[in-house]
Amino acid sequence: MLTLQEIQDEMRELRDWSLEFSSITKDFLFKDFKEALIFVNRVGEIAENLQHHPDIMINYNMVRLNLTTHSEKSLTKKDFDAAKEIDKLS
């Protein structure tokens, strides 16, 4: 579990992620559904490699990712590591 200061420091290193209670969230917009699915599959590969899986919502060409460490019921370094890897996709 991270302190508020650690969370704030980590948030400064991310692009366009929002802090929402005990999670971080980001929306991604794509040309169409097919591009959104390709992105989600790439996120899935990152998640499997890190063994840390986001909640994913697909709404046609928009993908919302939500990261939190469910076992801790809070944000951990794993969430920010995953977000940084996901940001490398775009």
For 10-53, the pLDDT digits (tens) are: 999 999 999 999 999 999 999 999 999 999 999 999 999 999 99
Buried b (16+ CB within 10 A) or exposed e, 50-82: eebebeeeeeeeebebebbbeeeeebbebbbeb
Q: Residue ranges per domain, the chain?
A: 4-87
Q: Domain 4-87: give its CATH superfamily.
A: Transcriptional coactivator/pterin dehydratase (3.30.1360.20)
Distance CA 38, CA 75 (A): 27
pTM of structure: 0.93
Asked if 54 and 46 touch (Cβ cutoff 8 Å), the reply is no
Computed from CA positions of residues 22, 59, 30, 46, in that sequence, does the dihedral angle turn out positive or negative?
positive
Mean pLDDT of all residues belonging to the chain: 96
Q: What secondary structure letter does DSSP report for 58?
A: E
